[in-house]
């Protein structure tokens, strides 16, 4: 759908439900499906879990590694817009997947630990 249609969809949403939270607004404007606001992160978290499970089971393919990093970047972009209520049920799942990812990769200095407080920390890691 072209961006104009997304804007129209946002207008319809506002007229029906009122002003959306930042995460819902973002999802509408990029054309993602908007359902229950508290479940809005589910597809992004699930994609990251699947990606990490694939890497754990099959190893990290260098051809797919950029896409794997894109999945985590997409998750991060919606996490920045989510409120505390939306985050609470996903934090442990994200942390678990992040820790597995760290165990499969090394940082720039060759360490398997990661300072996950650094912005886009996953982009600074390489496959083992």
Together in a domain, 52 and 115: yes
Together in a domain, 29 and 54: no
Together in a domain, 81 and 29: no
Count of domains for the chain: 2
Q: Which residues, 6 or more positions from 19, have their beta carbon under 8 angstroms from its beta carbon?
A: none
pLDDT per position as a tens digit, 5-28: 999 989 998 998 899 989 989 888
Specify the residue for token string 């991060």: 76
Query: Which residues in the chain land under pLDDT 50?
Result: none
Q: Say what the pLDDT of residue 111 is.
A: 75
Together in a domain, 95 and 60: yes
Together in a domain, 14 and 66: no
Together in a domain, 46 and 109: yes
Q: Say what the pLDDT of residue 8 is.
A: 92
| pTM score, whole prediction | 0.82
Together in a domain, 9 and 54: no
Q: Say what the pLDDT of residue 37 is.
A: 66
Structural domain for 10, as ranges: 1-35
Together in a domain, 67 and 101: yes
Residue 36, strand partner residues: none
Specify the residue for token string 């890497």: 55
* C-alpha to C-alpha distance for 22 and 6, rounded to whole angstroms: 15
Task: Report CA 121 to chain centroid distance, whole Å.
Answer: 13
Q: Say what the pLDDT of residue 109 is.
A: 78
Together in a domain, 49 and 110: yes
């Amino acid at each position: 759908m072209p961006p104009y249609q997304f804007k129209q969809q946002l207008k319809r949403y506002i007229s029906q439900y009122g002003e959306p939270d930042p995460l819902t607004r973002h999802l509408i404007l990029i054309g993602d499906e908007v359902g229950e606001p508290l479940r809005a992160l589910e597809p992004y978290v699930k994609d990251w879990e699947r990606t990490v499970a694939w890497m754990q089971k099959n190893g990290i393919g260098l051809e797919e590694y950029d896409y794997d990093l894109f999945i985590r970047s997409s998750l991060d972009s919606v996490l920045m817009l989510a409120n505390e209520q939306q985050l609470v049920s996903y934090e442990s799942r994200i942390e678990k997947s992040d820790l597995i990812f760290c165990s499969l990769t090394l940082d720039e200095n060759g360490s398997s630990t990661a300072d996950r407080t650094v912005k886009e920390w996953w982009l600074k890691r390489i496959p083992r």
